[in-house]
Amino acid sequence: MILTSLDRFHRVLRLLVGLCFSVLLVAVVLQVISRLLLPNPPIWTEELSRFALLFCAAFGIGLALRSGDLVGVDLLTMLLPKRAKIVVEVASCLVMVGFGLMLLSPSWSFVDIGSLQTSPALLWNMFWVHLSVLIAPVALIVAAVERMLRVLAGLAPEVRQDNGLEAH
């Protein structure tokens, strides 16, 4: 039940990353084309692409941890017996949860400060843009808790052994 809810949560994150990436792509293409063809290209495209990239990263951090694509050093853990790997994996998840929890309060302070500012080109309240800084640790915490639950339940996929560069 909990893992099914977490699957749904990550499906929503995946959809949001796709949406943000689409906005980023459209903004950058529009920016490039307008600079080539228009005497006065729109100034808001650069700002929109930056904001979309922030949210791509914020929504994507949990997905990267979940899929095993988040940067990690696992050279030593590959040599450990299975039980020791489980202990190290759970400890790693606990550290990530702790790190995410430590970031929540300062993240909220940053979001709150954003409510006093407006973006120069799009004229958006920066609360909404700064919200990405709060979303990132929440996504990390949720993914780390899920990973820990899967490891403890024996449902976690094996950690990737390749460097991600080989063709599959």
Instruction: Quick: pLDDT tens for 121-161.
Output: 999 999 999 999 999 999 999 999 999 998 898 877 664 44
What number is the average pLDDT over the span 27-44?
Answer: 94
Domain regions of the chain by residue span: 2-153
pTM metric for this prediction: 0.83
Reduced to 3 states, what is the DSSP secondary structure of residue 148?
A: helix
pLDDT of residue 73: 65
Lowest mean pLDDT among 73-82, 108-117, 159-168: 159-168
Separation of first and last alpha carbons in the chain: 33
133-136: long-range contacts (C-beta < 8 A, 24 or more apart)? 133/54, 133/58, 133/107, 134/104, 134/107, 134/108, 134/110, 135/55, 135/58, 135/59, 136/57, 136/58, 136/61, 136/103, 136/107
pLDDT of residue 162: 44
pLDDT of residue 165: 44
Q: Provide the 10 A C-beta neighbour count for residue 131.
A: 19
Instruction: Quick: pLDDT tens for 53-103.
Output: 999 999 999 999 888 777 776 777 788 898 888 899 999 999 999 999 999
